[in-house]
């Protein structure tokens, strides 16, 4: 991927923890990627309907028994590549197995997430 291609790549971030979301946004922007951020399933689905992202990073567990599954389903319907990002692999098992996508455990250094996102394209 050339630098100009990376500049046009838009990454949807779905993460319920504000500090992690902010950190991911900063790191991806620093790598020349555009980001749109959501802290809930509803917000992520709204962003997708407004503008389909090129790729996505989805936190699996969003608190209170909520998972990223509806967002992952929508991205899959649209053919948008995504990866799952989870700090709780034990509870995430069912969702992780359902989707044949890369899984990045938390914490993962930002540069590795950038590499993984670029590999999806």
Task: Give the chain's domains with CATH numbers.
Answer: 3-120 (3.40.50.2300)
pLDDT of residue 89: 60
The structure tokens listed for 34 are 């555009």
Give the integer Cα–Cα distance in Å for 45 and 8: 21
pLDDT for 49-65, tens place per residue?
A: 999 999 999 999 998 88
**Residue 83 backbone phi and psi in degrees, to 5:** -125, 155
Instruction: In whole angstroms, give the CA distance from residue 38 to residue 24.
Output: 12
d(CA 92, CA 55): 21
Residue 87 is encoded by which pair of tokens? 């700090």
What's the pLDDT at 1?
Answer: 45
Instruction: Cite the beta strand spans of the chain per DSSP E.
Output: 10-14, 34-38, 55-59, 82-86, 103-105
Q: What are the 10-residue block averages of pLDDT along the chain, 121 residues in total?
A: 59 96 93 95 98 96 91 97 83 71 88 91 80
CA atoms within 13 A on the CB side of 4: 0
């Amino acid at each position: 991927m050339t630098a100009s291609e990376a500049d046009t790549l838009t990454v949807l971030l779905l993460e319920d923890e504000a500090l992690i979301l902010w950190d991911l946004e900063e790191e991806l922007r620093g790598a020349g990627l555009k980001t749109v951020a959501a802290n809930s399933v509803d917000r992520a689905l709204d962003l997708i309907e407004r503008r389909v992202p090129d790729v996505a990073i989805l936190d699996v567990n969003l608190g209170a028994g909520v998972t990223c599954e509806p967002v992952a389903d929508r991205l899959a319907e649209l053919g948008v590549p995504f990866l799952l990002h989870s700090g709780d692999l034990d509870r995430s098992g069912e969702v992780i197995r359902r989707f044949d996508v890369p899984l990045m455990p938390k914490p993962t250094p930002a540069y590795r997430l950038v590499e993984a996102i670029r590999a999806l394209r």
